Chains A and B, each alone.
Chain A
C-alpha cells in the first residue's frame, strides 16, 4: 500500500457511500413525507 493506493481506496469508499446514502435519503425521506402529507 502506498499513498496512491490509499487515495484510490478513499475515493472508492466515497463513491460507494454516495451510492448508499442517496437512495436511502430518497426512500426514508419519501416515506417520512408521506406521513406528513397524509396527516390525520
Chain B
C-alpha cells in the first residue's frame, strides 16, 4: 500500500479519534437512560411515535424526495445549468456520455444490489435481529445515523484520495473540467457499488433505525447535491457582514458550494483549490476535526485534474474492467497509479 509517511501517521491518528466519534452517540444514549432511569426495550412504544410531530408532518415530502424528488431536482437544475451555458464548450461528447451513464446506470443497477443486501442477505446474516434496536429514541437514531453514515463516507472518500491504489476508482468524480449537478452522481461504478456507508446505513435500518435514517439521508442528499451544484447559495452569507457569524458556523458544520468546489479544483496554486482535502460530504466538521479542510469563501477558477486525457466513458465508468486506450493515462493498462504523486497531500488547518 503506497502512501506518504506523514499522511499515514495522520490517518492512523484520525482513525483512533474516529472510533471515539462513532461511540459518542452511543455514550449519549447510555447517559440519557442512566439518568432518566428508563429501560425503553421493555416498552412497546415505537420510536416513530415518539418523534416530534413536525417529522410526521414532513415525512411524506421526505419519502417523495427520496423516491423520485431528487432525480427530478437533479434533472431540472442540470438542464438549468446547461441552458445558462455553464458547461460552455467543455461538455464534449465524452463528458456527456460519462455524465449521462453515471446518472442513469446506478439508479438502475444499484437498487437491485442494495435491495438484495437489505432484504435477503441481512436476514440471512443477522437472523431474528430485524428491528432489534427499535427502542432507540428518534433523536438518538438521528444522531447515530448522521455520524455513522457521514463519517464512514468521509473515510471512504479520504482514503480514495490518500491511498494511491484507490485513487483510480474515484478519479472519474474529479475528471470533469466543470462543476455542476452532474458531478454528484459522476462516479466509477465500482466506487459507487462498494460505498461502505450505504451498507452501514442499510444494516442500521434493518436493526430498527429506519425512521431516523429517512430524515438524515434525505438531508444529506440535499446538502451534497447543493454542494456540487453551480448554484452558490452560500455567497450571500459571505457578502453581507451581518450574516458572517452564520457563515462561520455553517461552513465549518456542513459542506457548502465554496468548500466543496475547492475540492474539485484542478490546482492549489490559486490559494482556493484543495483537491487533496475538503473531503466532507454532509458534514464539513470532519475536515475541521481532522485538519484536512481549507475555508476561503472563494470559488476556484478551474476544475478537474491536470493530467486528464479525456478517457473513454467506458474506462472512466468501469475501470479496471475496461481500460483506456489513451497513452499515459492513469486508466490505461500500463498507466501510472497516480498522475501527481509528487504533490504532497494537503494537511492544512481549517
What is the interface of chain A, defined by CB distance below 8 A to chain B? 1-2, 5, 8-9, 11-13, 15-17, 19-20, 22-24, 26-28, 30-31, 33-35, 37-40
A31, B203: Cα distance in complex, Å: 14
**CA gap between A11 and B168 in the complex, in Å:** 13
A18 to chain B, nearest CB (A): 8
CA of A33 to CA of B199 in the docked complex: distance in angstroms? 23
Query: Is the CB–CB distance between A23 and B26 below 8 Å?
Result: no
Cβ 8 A contact of B199, one of A20, A27, A37, A40: A20
Count residues on chain B whose CB falls below 8 Å from chain A CBs.
40
User: Known interface pairs A12-B194, A34-B33, A40-B42. Does A26 touch B152 (Cβ–Cβ under 8 Å)?
Assistant: no
Q: A24-B203, A30-B30, A31-B26 are in contact. List 18 more A-B contacts (CB 8 A).
A: A9-B320, A12-B166, A12-B190, A16-B156, A19-B152, A19-B155, A20-B197, A20-B200, A22-B22, A23-B22, A23-B151, A23-B152, A27-B22, A28-B207, A33-B26, A34-B33, A35-B41, A40-B39
Q: State how many angstroms separate the Cβ of A35 from the closest Cβ of chain B.
A: 6
What chain B residues lie within 8 Å of A40 (beta carbons)? 39, 42
**B77 near A: Cβ within 8 Å?**
no
- Are B19 and A38 in contact, with the CB atoms below 8 A? no
A28: B residues at CB distance < 8 A? 133, 207
Q: How far is the CA of A7 from the CA of B295 in the complex (A)?
A: 37
Chain A's interface: helix, strand, loop or mixed, by majority? helix
Is B136 touching A31 in the complex (CB atoms < 8 A)?
yes
In chain A, what residue has the closest Cβ to B165?
A8
Mark out the residues of chain B between 20 and 75 whose CB falls within 8 Å of any chain A CB in the assembled complex: 22-23, 25-27, 29-30, 33-34, 39, 41-42
In angstroms, Cα B247 to Cα A12, docked, is: 37
Some 22 contacts from A to B, beta carbons below 8 A apart, are: A1-B320, A5-B320, A12-B169, A12-B190, A15-B159, A15-B163, A16-B194, A19-B152, A20-B152, A26-B19, A27-B25, A27-B26, A27-B144, A27-B148, A27-B204, A30-B26, A30-B30, A31-B133, A37-B30, A38-B30, A40-B39, A40-B42
For residue B246, give the distance in angstroms from its CB to the closest CB of chain A.
31
Is B240's beta carbon under 8 Å from chain A?
A: no
B349 interface hit (Cβ, 8 Å): no
A32 CA / B240 CA spacing, docked (Å): 49
B196 contacts the other chain (CB 8 A): yes
Task: Point out the residues of chain B lying under 8 angstroms from A19, CB to CB.
Answer: 152, 155-156, 159, 196
Q: Which residues on B sit within 8 Å (CB–CB) of A8?
A: 165, 320
Chain A residues with CB below 8 A from B169, complex form: 12
Q: Residue on B with the closest CB to A2?
A: B333
In the docked arrangement, what's the CA distance between A5 and B335, Å?
Answer: 12
B190: chain A residues within 8 A (beta carbon) = 9, 12
Known A27-B22, A27-B148; judge A34-B29 contact (CB<8 A).
yes
Q: A15-B166, A20-B196, A31-B133 are in contact. Are A26 and B39 (CB under 8 A)?
A: no
- Measured between C-beta atoms, what is the minimum distance from A9 to chain B in Å? 7
A26 near B33: Cβ-Cβ < 8 Å: no
If the complex has contacts A23-B152, A24-B203, A27-B148, are A12 and B30 also in contact, measured as CB distance less than 8 A?
no
Asked, given contacts A20-B199, A27-B144, whether A34 binds B26 with beta carbons under 8 Å apart, the answer is yes
CB-CB under 8 A from A20, the residues of chain B are: 152, 196-197, 199-200
Cβ of A34: which chain B residues have Cβ within 8 Å of it? 26, 29-30, 33
B-side contacts of A23, CB under 8 Å: 22, 148, 151-152, 200
Tell me the nearest residue of chain B to A39, going by C-beta: B39
User: Within 8 Å CB of A33, what residues of B?
Assistant: 26, 30
